Amino acid sequence: MRNKNILTFALLALFSQAFGQGYKNPVIPGFHPDPSVCKAGDDYYLVNSSFQYFPGVPLFHSKDLVHWEQIGNCLDRPSQVDLTGANAWGGIYAPTIRYHEGTFYMITTNVSGKGNFLVHTTDPRGGWSDPVWLKQGGIDPSLYFENGKCYMVSNPDNYITLCEIDPMSGEQLSPSRKIWGGTGGRYPEGPHIYKKDGWYYLLISEGGTETGHSVTIARSAFIEGPYTPNPANPILTHACVAGQASPIQGTGHADLVEGTDGSWWMVCLAYRIMPGTHHTLGRETYLAPVRWDKGAWPVVNGNGTIAINMDVPTLPLTPSKPQPDTFEFEEEKLSPEWVYLQNPIPENYAFEDGKLRLSATNTTLSDGKSPTFVALRQDQFDMDASTKVALRQAQPGDEAGITAFMDFRSHYDLFVRQEANGKQSVVLRYQLGELKHIEKEVALPDTSPVILNLKADINVYRFGYTVDGKYHELGKMNTRYLSSETAGGFTGVMLGLYAVSASPESKAFADFDYFKYQRP
């Protein structure tokens, strides 16, 4: 099967390079909001927000803007980011990535920490610097380089504001200057400056990151302004007749990049809706072609909307490696897709005999702190996740298992629990805000490893377990209770493995053999 997949991948790559036509959105599915993109030679790099998860700011590479491979995370050391107390509204907000004269820069905001900061590297695969902190406030900072100067824009006091900075020291070199307040939509944010045909273009988002989200643009002959808005604003939104029936909503927070062939493209966030216009997968990364004639305003995909199936010419396509459907731990390291809640305690994570070992602590999934927990983003409505777990050296009340986790106050947990009689049980539990409920508890025949199963479609999560080759269903719960509209926050559902002890004295640990994540 492996050889067949490799051959299929090779044939697809040759076909795509020859034709380069059409693609499917989202180009990066699951919780990957606030995309920013830059070009370095023939390569493209993209970053996303990460909020309360560590490592922060996932970093992707592409050759064609369609196929993206995660190559790391910009913030992978505690010295770069402190996420203490961060939740689904906090932590790392929208980053911007830029490339200038051989150096990559990533600028972002830690709203749970000290505000705006910047890191840099000459090798995006090889690690990024410690942060330099920036004086100008607001969120969603961006950079623009010209004539030996580096400019920063952000949105303090709901107004796009410009200053000159030293990107290596963070020193502010000019007073902050207000340059544009947008077109009147709430939350003018996500600013980016570009220069084309003698004009400075200022791209922003307005309307809030829900159904009223939109992208607007203004331009000026001078970087300090005054900026004149495009009469055809917004240039991207689904809060309109053309987009109101789309399965994609919340389009906004965009960045522009010029392709290697001179074409222009926009990456943006949006989300796929479920019944009732809820969404659980988080805000995802989408791609749209842009027509940008000389001296004219940019036009996004003809009418300012995007679609799942984009039947448009592309750059020559270079498919990335297929995503694995089974994560095994024999390499004794986690791939860059795996994240922790806030800054992890490293000694609670280990690899033993080809298994991932999680040491239980008495920090729970609901405490607002960093439990023993690692997770992947749920990136499709239809999926089947499972893991094989053994809970060892446990005291009564200790537990380990799998969780569909939206936030500290909203998660569905399927786990093995140690009982007072020396036996173990498999338990299904829900937490929805202040409401906590144990749906089912089933005694296990012994303390052998158990396979825990979590399946989903667009409407329902189903939970069960497998013992001696036989599957037992425990219960189901509607997906919408973990949606952003119900649970709140700016993230998406994560599929996590965890271990929790009932007391600080416990020495319990859980060994996970693998994590299977099968998509359609």
Known catalytic residue at 210? no
Strand, helix or coil at 6?
helix
CB atoms within 10 A of CB 96: 27
C-alpha–C-alpha distance, residues 70 and 50, integer Å: 14
Smallest CA-to-CA distance from 380 within 455, 317, 321, 328 is with: 455
Of 34, 64, 284, 413, catalytic: 34
Element (H, E) at 17: helix 2-19
SS3 string, 198-233, reads CEEEEEEEECCCCCCCEEEEEEECCCCCCCEECCCC
> Tokens in use for 235?
């240039």
Rounded CA gap, 78 and 55, in Å?
Answer: 9
- 258 Cβ partners below 8 Å, 6+ apart? 39, 264, 265
Closest CA to 282 of 167, 183, 358, 377: 377
Q: Report the alpha-carbon distance of residue 455 to residue 519 in Å, rounded.
A: 10
Whole-number Å distance between alpha carbons of 259 and 44: 9
Q: Which two tokens stand for residue 127?
A: 């690690």
Give the containing element (helix H, strand E) for 12: helix 2-19
189 is catalytic: yes
Q: Which residues are within 8 A (CB) of 255 and not within 5 positions of it... i.e. 6 or more apart?
A: 35, 36, 37, 96, 192, 203, 266, 267, 268
Q: How far apart are CA 211 and CA 270, in angstroms?
A: 9
**Pick the catalytic residue: 64, 140, 189, 379?**
189
Cβ burial of 516 (10 Å; 0-12, 13-18, 19+) is middle
Cβ-count burial 97-110 (b if 16+ within 10 Å, e if not):
bbbbeebbbbbbbb
CA dihedral 193, 199, 204, 206 (to 10 degrees): 170
Burial class from Cβ neighbours inside 10 Å (0-12, 13-18, 19+) for residue 394 reads buried
Query: Look-up: residue for tokens 């004009």?
Result: 199
Strand ranges inside 13-68, DSSP E: 21-24, 36-40, 43-47, 53-54, 56-62
Residue 441 amino acid letter: E
Nearest to 337 by CA among 32, 18, 24: 32
Q: Which residues are catalytic?
A: 34, 189
